[in-house]
Structure 1
Amino acid sequence: MEQLQVKLGEKAQITTVMQEVFATEVGAVYQCNKRNRLVVDFANAQIVLKVDAFLRLKKAVDSIDLRDMAVNTQRCSDYELLTVCGCEKLYVLTLPEIYSFKELLGGAKFALELNSMLHECLHTQVA
């Protein structure tokens, strides 16, 4: 477990203990069971998301065509603007950043699904 300071709302800044779900060299995703939220730490910003907003963010990142960005010679293809409903952050990402973000979000989703399956199996056997 890691202690992480996050801003939940505009009025209060609290420090709470969060479980690291998945981390790479460029970021990490933490889970707050107390508030049922995920904290995505990427691109020098921490955002607090509900699980459904996290899944929408992952879907939006996955929908970006990296190959098309790489082969397109127009200057506007050098960056991608990314935001989703439920996420207050507007990301302006380059091709390598998008690749890293895809890796981070994909790993976090896999870890969450694996944890859920293990929890379900353990509780099924106990009952």
Structure 2
Amino acid sequence: MQTSTQLSEIYTSEAGAVYQCDRRNRLLVQFSGELVELKLDTFLRLKKAVDSINLEQMAVNPHRSSDFEIISVCGCDRCFVLTLPELHDFKELLSEARFMMELNSMLHECFSSQLA
């Protein structure tokens, strides 16, 4: 027996994509050639961790240790090791995906209230 997984595209950019899998109730984040499956709360923790990184401070810091950032969140089995340009792209990807999820939720609420 073979089942196909239905993925809905949430947001796509040159850097990656975020998809929603309704069957498994997960988000799939494609970035740097890898695909990571996350629950919604883990996605939000990851976004919060990435948002907390000060890219400007990282850019002006002369120490070699500031050339990359290691990001790990509870509920995600992947550890992200990202350079400044990768962090910029990843931050944008996660932010835009979150915005699209909020927009879809608002539209769903508006349409549902009009039908009721």
Aligned to 1:121: 110
8 Å CA contact 2:68–2:83 kept in 1: the answer is yes
Cα offset, 1:35, TM superposition: 1.7
> Hey, what's the Cα distance between the residues in 1 that align with 2:23 and 2:98?
19
Task: Return the structure number with greater helix share.
Answer: 2
Q: Distance in 1 between matches of 2:52 and 2:64?
A: 20
Q: CA RMSD in A?
A: 1.0
Choose which of 37, 43, 62 in structure 2 pairs with 1:54.
43
Alignment of 1:1-127 (within 5 A): 15-127=4-116
Cα deviation, residue 18, structure 1: 0.3
Question: CA deviation digits over 1:28-72, x for unaligned, max 9?
Answer: 000011221100000111111110000000000000010111000
Question: Match of 1:10?
Answer: none
Letter in 2 for 1:101: F
Displacement of 1:15: 4.9
Unaligned runs of 5+ in 1: 1-13
Asked if structure 1 preserves the Cα contact closer than 8 Å seen for 2:10 and 2:101, the reply is yes
Distance in 1, Cα, partners of 2:58 & 2:68: 8
> After TM superposition, which residue ranges in structure 1, 4 or more long, deviate above 2 angstroms?
none
